[in-house]
Amino acid sequence: MSNSLDSFFHPRGVVVVGASHDPTKLGYGVARNLVHCGYVGGIHFVNPRGGTLLDRPVYTSIASVPDPVDLAVLIIPAPAVPDTLRECGARGVRAAIIASGGFREVGPEGLALENACLQVAARFGIRLLGPNCIGLLDTHLPLDTTFLPPPTPSPGDVAFLSHSGAVCAAVIDWATGQGFGLSQLVSLGNQADVNETDMLAPVAADPNTKVLTLYIEGITTGRRFVDEAKKVTQHKPVIALKVGRFAAGRRAVASHTGALAGEEAAYNAAFRRAGVIRADTNEEMFDWARALAWCPPPAGRAMAVLTNAGGPGAIAADAIESHGLHLTELTADTQAALRALLPPSASVRNPVDMLASASPGQYAQSLRLLLADAAVDGVMVILLPPPMFSADEVAEPLVPVIRDSAKPVVVALMGENLIQRAAQLFRAAHIPDYRFPERAASALAMLAQRGEVLARAHWQPSPLPDVDRAAVRQLFSAADGGSRPFMTQAQVERVLSAYGVRTPRVELARTAEGAAALARELGFPVALKVASPDISHKSDVGGVLLNLGDESAVSDGFMTVLRNARAARPEADVWGAHVQRMIPAGQDVIVGAVQDPQFGAMIMVGSGGIEVEAVRDVAFALAPLSREEADYLLESTWAGRKLRGYRNLQPADRDAVIDVMLRLGQLAADFPELAEIEINPLRVLPEGEGTVALDVRAKVVA
Amino acid sequence: MSNSLDSFFHPRGVVVVGASHDPTKLGYGVARNLVHCGYVGGIHFVNPRGGTLLDRPVYTSIASVPDPVDLAVLIIPAPAVPDTLRECGARGVRAAIIASGGFREVGPEGLALENACLQVAARFGIRLLGPNCIGLLDTHLPLDTTFLPPPTPSPGDVAFLSHSGAVCAAVIDWATGQGFGLSQLVSLGNQADVNETDMLAPVAADPNTKVLTLYIEGITTGRRFVDEAKKVTQHKPVIALKVGRFAAGRRAVASHTGALAGEEAAYNAAFRRAGVIRADTNEEMFDWARALAWCPPPAGRAMAVLTNAGGPGAIAADAIESHGLHLTELTADTQAALRALLPPSASVRNPVDMLASASPGQYAQSLRLLLADAAVDGVMVILLPPPMFSADEVAEPLVPVIRDSAKPVVVALMGENLIQRAAQLFRAAHIPDYRFPERAASALAMLAQRGEVLARAHWQPSPLPDVDRAAVRQLFSAADGGSRPFMTQAQVERVLSAYGVRTPRVELARTAEGAAALARELGFPVALKVASPDISHKSDVGGVLLNLGDESAVSDGFMTVLRNARAARPEADVWGAHVQRMIPAGQDVIVGAVQDPQFGAMIMVGSGGIEVEAVRDVAFALAPLSREEADYLLESTWAGRKLRGYRNLQPADRDAVIDVMLRLGQLAADFPELAEIEINPLRVLPEGEGTVALDVRAKVVA
């Protein structure tokens, strides 16, 4: 199935198999839309009953359809689809949209039919969209292969790829009322052949598409999606609405990292790596899409607000700050120029309140001044129909000012009936308008985020040269992954050591006397930890004692941790206790890695200890990771930020933490059989002194 | 100004002073709206030029206006307002809406005019709305005193009180397109006399008002607002959009509590106490208002989703869970009944997906089954126009099922053109519809929250009998609040002791030898803390040493903490060091109290230590607080939740923490001069063993 998808997007002729005379049938809808949309290639209908439809002949077989024809739309009962595909293949069709339902979504029989379709498609080199989809739509070509009732969407700049045909239908209808058009729409259905990842590059190649929006319920080819999406996001924004957050089953996990590394963490990490912006709601996605399609990204997060009323200005100020932007301080020159332009009781500080008397000229001139101010990265214009002018009278002179600006401007156009004509003016000029300042602020914030996506585009993990893969491979092949998935302390430490992660010298004592002797050799004070391949969280069973200062404390302690462990876990195999010298004070973090089923190796960093899941001060990234992304992860957690020092907390060796993150990430990426590995805590010593992995656990799967 | 506000809401006659013939003037707009709105009382116009307007005489003076007249609307230049008010008073007018601007908002001269108005009003017993407002509107009476251009809002169930006239105008216009009406609208303007708090009870008394919505930029009479709003919220929901979050200046503070107790924390605490629901955006506020006006609150948070398409169902499921509701598991009976009703490939588990073929009858019957299921507290119906039926054909049989139900049902009616008639059907039947499942889920969540507000209505702080106010009063009157606002350690401990909060015995040592002797007397190990009235955060200056085990450690330690403190704060007055016995292990929390300028005493509880501001695991309430609210605060922080035990963390004396919160709250409420008091950490011992205030600080203002 390596054939191009080109016939979906640029067909020379389309055949509708199952075209119907009955206006209540979907087969009529497809024929109607194809004819009415203005498609200029060949349009052919097939139905065994023959006749004419919409002034065109209806052929009784696919074989008799004349040239040109390379795309078929099948809207026939599911059982007939495989044979029909075969006829399509014989006729030279290169691409087929199977609109019909009745496949995988209805059970095993349907799945068998779907597989039969795939076999036929493979034999003839046909690419399949669907089944169980509403097809594909290009408003500019134009081409409409859907059966949806009119009106069709107006031509626009936003492409929409969707795992749900129903969401396509709703978005198409809803978009018409929101004043934005679509460029292309692809309903992916069951994705028997073509999936969202396959469609990214072809849709992004469409010159009419300025922004890609995705509705997705899951991604099956995780890393390929990340790679493909990353290529696209370097030149066009991609926004995704991913649902199914709460449907994901809980996995059995053995570490804090595993417990927190759910599907959500993986998708967020993957979207960040790919430069995909994630939306939480449909409205948010399309609010952002319009702004991203029509406005340049701002150079920074310093925003100005221009308003003719105080209340909306206050709403805008709050919304701007709450979205992580800030209200800039206007330069003295700008304030003076505004002062000269506006009435004395106007406010010339940000938000600039021109008062209800603001004229169209004052609006345009004030906006020009704000955009010329070097302290301003972007502007929100609030337009509440003023008492003395209509909203469109104000909008008219604003349009050229906004279109000529290299800085983004979004409009909060407040009201409904009184702003209709102004809204049309703005939309025609490709200026995004929103009913309330809150949504306009959200769009401004997304423009800033898009700028940051572009600034991160060069982040690239570089392979670590000084790791000993062979040593780890040997350890893993020796590890008894089946019956006893947890590696021993010593094994984990050898693995870490092969990847350059320091662990303290730890020795196993099998008796109380042995523990005391080891402690004397290592130097006091020491820590004791129960040694058992069956006990993962040692402190949970009272299996850890710290700061033991002399031999008698060590030998007593040995008995205590063994007794505690046996009491808590009578079934556990207990080998004795590990003895190690106490490590100097410092800050503690957790660093862990897991394998995500969709996206592979992921790394986590954050606040460690035993409260990891409760405190949730952690951040995830795909592994291996770049130094820049490691730095970004640290900055997104409090545990990471405080490494720079906080109050009487001394600065710690932040670079050494990044080094451990890179090494652990490389390890997890190199060895998919390493299901989980976790350092908790990683003791971070003062600057320049490195880190020590105080406690480690790892799980290997066969 | 104790007169009733009744003349605003039930005037027998209205006079428009400044009524104008010029359609571009606001004075024309007021006259036009008053006549066109259908107001049945007396309508009178005054303008020195006389003549007729809208077929009515224009009087040249207020004195010549005939009866009845008790409400005046003034739309004349600001300087003329005081004299005009005087004439109104002489004519027997009881209430005046000053629509004109040019008062406090333009500077000192305007403020003087505003004060002049207040004096006249006081003399004649006139209540004032405004100035600088757009007046008052009652769609049911009807009465429209605004100058806003048509269309006027349609009659509805939602009242809107606003500090911004501009937001009123936008909301009125916008609401018409959103399919909901307003009952009353009050634009409060500069609030020279009447403010939002005054208006709560009269608006809530309106039988047509089902929900009150507020746009507020600040509240000046904090506790009175809480009291008035609490009375209202026990029978009608109140939703507030409060802006100005980021405008509030930073206060100089000396404690973690003070640093975190900003205006936002105070408003959130006040709203919770008052039962007011806080919205973040205008759209959210009115989305919620419709649901609260039209639906009963659910008995719990268990929701069902009924859909005819999988994608929207998945969106709904995510949104429901992310709003803190959950998808319930339907009973076997319900599933069986749905199975009998729906096609085999339909999903009869929640979300119930009837598939695109769902008929109007299946919709209605399935919803009936869901509503009859005892496991279901509320339902979201997703209606995407199906291929075979129109949305209104589906809506029609749904309406009576929803109207007859005692459980709430919200509708996600997806699309735009194809759903217009269905939207009208739902709105006419007072069933809230939303374009996307995300917003419908938010409304369902708010219905659940309303149920919880009602359940909390009985929470009532009860005064603590065993506190010694006189002792504290004496201490405060002795405290040197001016030059040295921090109380000494010993003073704070006496204050706490008078309110029944345990502190460890602490003694001041002035020399190293004295410290050693005290330690021997108190018992080892001990802690040492530098004693200085000028050093608030002692550990920040290296002024704390813990766990000193013998006399030489204590005498060395004494020299160390003094040296550290002097090095860090050469200007500080250092008295020596406090010696106390080390306290047993346990969990630590912070409990603090401050005085908020608007709402008075507030209490804070949460994660203590030095990272309080960074970790922000804290919760606030107004003080004094009820036992139930103290419990609620603990549950809303991790520090509070883990008092019940977590992994190997032993359960701690949670009740004792609540006791300290009640006592500290009572103390702060009793003594407004106690600007800040903070226990950090409060050591919480194992269950039944109480708490110990390990470190305390307090600041008193003169």
- What confidence tens digit (pLDDT) does each residue in A212-237 have? 999 999 898 899 999 999 999 999 99
For B67-106, the pLDDT digits (tens) are 999 999 999 999 999 999 999 999 999 999 999 999 998 8
Contact criterion met (CB < 8 Å) for B106 and A308: no
Average pLDDT (B680-692) is 93
Residues forming CATH 3.30.470.20 domain(s) in chain A:
587-700
Which residue reads 């069973």 in tokens? A541
Contact criterion met (CB < 8 Å) for B177 and A417: yes
What does the alpha-carbon distance between residue A126 and residue A3 come to, in Å, rounded to a whole number? 7
- CB-CB neighbors (< 8 A) of B312 in chain A: 164, 166-167, 170
List the single residue in B with minimal CA-CA distance to A538. Answer: B648
- CB-CB neighbors (< 8 A) of B649 in chain A: 610
For B564-598, the pLDDT digits (tens) are 999 989 999 999 999 988 888 899 999 999 999 99
For A432-455, the pLDDT digits (tens) are 999 999 999 999 999 999 999 999
The model's confidence at residue B483, banded by pLDDT at 50, 70 and 90, is low
Contact criterion met (CB < 8 Å) for A344 and B106: yes
The model's confidence at residue B1, banded by pLDDT at 50, 70 and 90, is very low
Strands of B625-695 (E only): list them.
674-684, 691-693
Residue to mutate among A33, A134, A147, A164, with most B CBs inside 10 A, is A164
- Domain A297-456 listed as CATH 3.40.50.261: yes
What does the alpha-carbon distance between residue B657 and residue B504 come to, in Å, rounded to a whole number? 16
The one-letter code for the residue type at A567 is A
What does the alpha-carbon distance between residue A654 and residue A571 come to, in Å, rounded to a whole number? 41
Nearest neighbour of A317 by CB, restricted to B246, B541, B647: B246
- CB-CB neighbors (< 8 A) of A647 in chain B: 537, 540, 610-611
What does the pLDDT read at residue A2? 41
For B4-59, the pLDDT digits (tens) are 899 999 999 999 999 999 998 999 999 999 999 999 999 999 999 999 999 999 99
What does the pLDDT read at residue B442? 97
Residues forming CATH 3.30.1490.20 domain(s) in chain B:
505-581
Contact criterion met (CB < 8 Å) for B314 and A244: yes
Contact criterion met (CB < 8 Å) for B243 and A318: yes
List the single residue in A with minimal CA-CA distance to B419. Answer: A173
Percent of chain A whose pLDDT exceeds 70:
97
Nearest neighbour of B436 by CB, restricted to A281, A312, A542: A281
Nearest neighbour of B321 by CB, restricted to A166, A246, A642: A246
Burial class of residue B492 (count of CB atoms within 10 Å of its CB; 0-12, 13-18, 19+):
buried
Nearest neighbour of B415 by CB, restricted to A106, A170, A309: A170
Contact criterion met (CB < 8 Å) for A311 and B163: yes
**DSSP state, B35?**
H
Buried b (16+ CB within 10 A) or exposed e, A539-556: bebbbbbeebeebebbbe
What does the alpha-carbon distance between residue A110 and residue A100 come to, in Å, rounded to a whole number? 11
ipTM value for the complex: 0.89
**DSSP state, B477?**
H
List the single residue in A with minimal CA-CA distance to B343. Answer: A106
Kindly report the backbone phi and psi dihedral angles of residue B51, in degrees, each rounded to the nearest multiple of 5, phi listed first. 90, -160
List the single residue in A with minimal CA-CA distance to B107. Answer: A345
Contact criterion met (CB < 8 Å) for A175 and B416: yes
Contacts A–B by Cβ distance under 8 A:
230
For B526-564, the pLDDT digits (tens) are 999 999 988 878 888 888 988 888 999 999 999 999 999
User: What is this structure's pTM?
Assistant: 0.91
Evaluate the CA torsion angle A555, A557, A558, A563 in order and state its sign. Answer: positive
CB B336 within 8 A of CB B294: no
What does the pLDDT read at residue B479? 62
List the single residue in A with minimal CA-CA distance to B102. Answer: A345
Confidence check: pLDDT of A241 > 80:
yes
Strands of B255-331 (E only): list them.
277-279, 302-307, 326-327
CA distance, residue A75 to nearest chain B CA (Å): 14
CB atoms within 10 A of CB A49: 9
Buried b (16+ CB within 10 A) or exposed e, A98-116: bbbbbbbbbeeebeebbeb
| Mean per-residue pLDDT over chain A, rounded | 93
Confidence check: pLDDT of A481 > 60:
no
Nearest neighbour of A646 by CB, restricted to B147, B327, B611: B611
- Go through chain A and tell me how many residues it has: 702
Nearest neighbour of A388 by CB, restricted to B24, B177, B648: B24
Contact criterion met (CB < 8 Å) for A167 and B315: yes
Assign domain B505-581 one CATH number from 3.40.50.920, 3.40.50.1370, 2.40.50.140, 3.30.1490.20: 3.30.1490.20
List the single residue in B with minimal CA-CA distance to A105. Answer: B345
List the single residue in A with minimal CA-CA distance to B646. Answer: A611
Contact criterion met (CB < 8 Å) for B384 and A107: no
Contact criterion met (CB < 8 Å) for B309 and A107: no
List the single residue in A with minimal CA-CA distance to B242. Answer: A315
Nearest neighbour of B176 by CB, restricted to A162, A322, A416: A416
Q: How far is CA B340 from CA B328, B335, B369, in A?
A: 20, 9, 12
For B638-660, the pLDDT digits (tens) are 999 999 999 889 999 999 999 99
Contact criterion met (CB < 8 Å) for A417 and B246: no
For B316-359, the pLDDT digits (tens) are 999 999 999 999 999 999 999 999 999 998 999 999 999 999 99
CB atoms within 10 A of CB A314: 27
- CB-CB neighbors (< 8 A) of B615 in chain A: 617, 638
For A64-97, the pLDDT digits (tens) are 999 999 999 999 999 999 999 999 999 999 999 9
CB A241 within 8 A of CB A577: no
Q: At what angle do helices B310-322 and A165-178 cross, to 10 degrees?
A: 80
Q: 3-class SS at A501?
A: coil
What does the alpha-carbon distance between residue B73 and residue B130 come to, in Å, rounded to a whole number? 10
CA distance, residue A620 to nearest chain B CA (Å): 19
What does the alpha-carbon distance between residue B546 and residue B587 come to, in Å, rounded to a whole number? 16
Q: Which two tokens stand for residue A301?
A: 């997060």
The sheet carrying A182-187 orders its strands as A143-144, A136-138, A182-187, A155-162, A211-216, A238-242, A277-279
Nearest neighbour of B177 by CB, restricted to A244, A321, A416: A416
For B601-633, the pLDDT digits (tens) are 999 999 998 899 999 999 999 999 999 999 999
CB B528 within 8 A of CB B577: yes
Residue to mutate among A173, A355, A434, A588, with most B CBs inside 10 A, is A173
Residue to mutate among A315, A325, A353, A539, with most B CBs inside 10 A, is A315
Q: At what angle do helices A222-233 and A263-274 cross, to 10 degrees?
A: 30
Nearest neighbour of B417 by CB, restricted to A151, A166, A418: A151
Residues forming CATH 3.40.50.720 domain(s) in chain B:
6-248
Nearest neighbour of A283 by CB, restricted to B387, B436, B539: B436
Contact criterion met (CB < 8 Å) for A416 and B388: no
Residue B400: is the preceding peptide bond cis (ω within 30°)? Answer: no
CA distance, residue B164 to nearest chain A CA (Å): 5
Q: At what angle do helices A282-294 and B437-455 cross, to 10 degrees?
A: 130
CA distance, residue A558 to nearest chain B CA (Å): 19
Calculated CA dihedral for residues B469, B474, B475, B479, nearest 10 degrees:
140
The model's confidence at residue A388, banded by pLDDT at 50, 70 and 90, is confident
Q: What's the CATH number for B6-248?
A: 3.40.50.720
List the single residue in B with minimal CA-CA distance to A162. Answer: B311
Assign domain A587-700 one CATH number from 3.30.930.10, 3.20.20.210, 3.30.470.20, 3.10.580.10: 3.30.470.20
